[in-house]
A and B are shown apart, each in its own frame.
Chain A
Amino acid sequence: MAKRKKNGKKRIITLPCRVAKMLDLPEEGFEFVLKMTMLGNEYIVIENHRGIYEFFEHNISLLSDSGTVKISGENLVLRETDSDRLYITGNIKGINIE
């Protein structure tokens, strides 16, 4: 059940995800996919992350299945935290997934 991506990494497509695709349902409910919701440039909610890799006032790096998410900005604060959800506030200037 694995497809090979262009960069050579394997992307595992699980059975629930396949069923969701067949039924035209959103995949996010069945798979641990990184989900980011941004409100303007001041608030960002990141769901399904794998932990904090780096945390500074101007830079926050998070681990996820899709790679490392780098959020850059100023006065970044982790307003609320959860095991798989983060609510970040501050002056967000950029988001980079590596």
Chain B
Amino acid sequence: MWKFLSGYVMIQAEGKNLERFLNLLMSNGLDIKNIRRNGPYSLTLDIVTFDFYRLRSIIRKNKVRIKIRILKKRGLFVHLLVLRFRKALIFGLPVMLALLAIASRSVWFINVEGCDKVSEAEVEKMLYDMGIKRGSLKNSFKLSTLADKIMAEDERIASADANISGVVLNIGIQEATIIEEQGERTGYASIYAQSSGKIKRIVALMGKPCVRAGDIVQEGDLLITGELNHDDKDTMLVCAKGEVIANVIHTFTAVEEPLEKTLVRTGNYVDFTKVSILGFELYKEPQDFSLSESESMSSKLFEGGALPMKLVNQRCYELEEKELQVDTLTLTERAIQKADIIMQESLDKNARILSKKTVTQILDDGSVEATIIVTTEQNIAQIREF
């Protein structure tokens, strides 16, 4: 391997005192290998490229009558020597290194870790709003303050840290466990189910739990009661407090109609010339049609020379509103997108999505219905005071 990297030359030495020649090379510390005797007055050997250049001076200095002939040149160094005339490589390499050096001053990848409730896209959007995106310079923001800014941006983030390794900006976040502020209530209150689901765990801080983990509850069912009975005699009324985590199934549906109103050209048009001075448009377009759109016909008619004036030929087309049939694939995509927006608006921010399934079907009238079925893990406790 080292032999290949440094490069070597296979030479043939011809002469009478070959043993003396070998001893001379060895005593001068030349790296020679694979010495083979070919005939009574010749031998071949491999010599490292750097040592080959020293060979001539040693032979001259010691007056050895040996004829040297190069048989082969091998190795990386030799290949590079061949490439030394390639100007593109010589100039391209520094340019490439310079580009790499410039590129390494920017952030090219953003890696967000620790996301559960807060999505990676949300964190990336936060960073984007702060002016940090792919391609931003590393010194355009301070890492020490970045973590604090992220924490301040979203209350669900308890702590955050930011560091840069190479061109990757690593954001690590730790989400907060939000305990809903139930306030200091003095009256009697119970906790009811906000939505139907399967109870995963129930923590009653005050009051008596009426359900257990694994129970299926309907919306409005009593979960933690604030009415405490002692031996069926005394009844104490308290303000129930607690958290009820349940797996809830949500369904979001959106329908996309097959017909879409679109503006199309009628075929009528009017040609006109747009005049602008100092960037202000003096004459925009004719008001012949109620709905219209303009299109440039050719390049600038008159640039104005030294004057800040511009004349451009344009054509104004009349438009009319028409109902067009949209293809099923586009309808499906739109319906899914619509259902997704509804889902994002409707779902509780603290809900953790466990599974998501999308179902689409084409209805009799040609419209497409998209249904997103989401299973979440969320707190379904709802306090009702009496």
Contacts and interface: CB of A to CB of B under 8 A. Distances in A.
Interface in A31-56: 51-56
Contacts of A79: 33-34
B176 interface: no
Nearest to B38: A57
A3 B34 CA distance: 41
A78 B35 contact: yes
A83 interface: yes
Contacts of B29: 83
Contacts of A57: 36-37
Contacts of B32: 81
Nearest to A80: B33
B33 A55 contact: no
Interface string B236-257: 0000000000000000000000
Interface residues of B, number: 15
Interface centre among A51, A53, A77, A81 (most CB of B within 10 A): A81
Interface string B35-50: 1110000010000000
B186 interface: no
A98 interface: no
Given A55-B19, A55-B22, A83 B27 contact: yes
Contact of B26 (A53, A54, A77, A82): A82
A77 B19 contact: no
A81 B19 contact: no
Contacts of B25: 81
Nearest to B25: A81
Contact of B22 (A52, A56, A76, A77): A52
Q: How large is the interface on A (under 10, 10 to 19, 20 to 34, 35 or more residues)?
A: 10 to 19
Nearest to B33: A80
Nearest to A51: B23
A81 B37 contact: no
Contacts of A83: 26-27, 29
A83 B30 CA distance: 9
B37 A55 contact: yes
A77 B34 contact: yes
Contacts of A76: 37
B18 interface: yes
Interface in B100-125: none
Contacts of A54: 19
Contacts of B36: 57, 77-78
A56 B18 CA distance: 10
A55 B43 contact: yes
A53 to B, nearest CB: 6
B23 A52 contact: yes
A88 to B, nearest CB: 10
8 nearest A-B residue pairs (beta carbon) = A78-B35, A51-B23, A57-B37, A52-B19, A52-B22, A56-B37, A81-B26, A77-B36
12 contacts: A51-B19, A52-B19, A52-B22, A52-B23, A55-B19, A77-B34, A78-B34, A80-B33, A81-B22, A81-B26, A82-B26, A83-B27
Interface of B: 18-19, 22-23, 25-27, 29, 32-37, 43
Interface of A: 51-57, 76-83
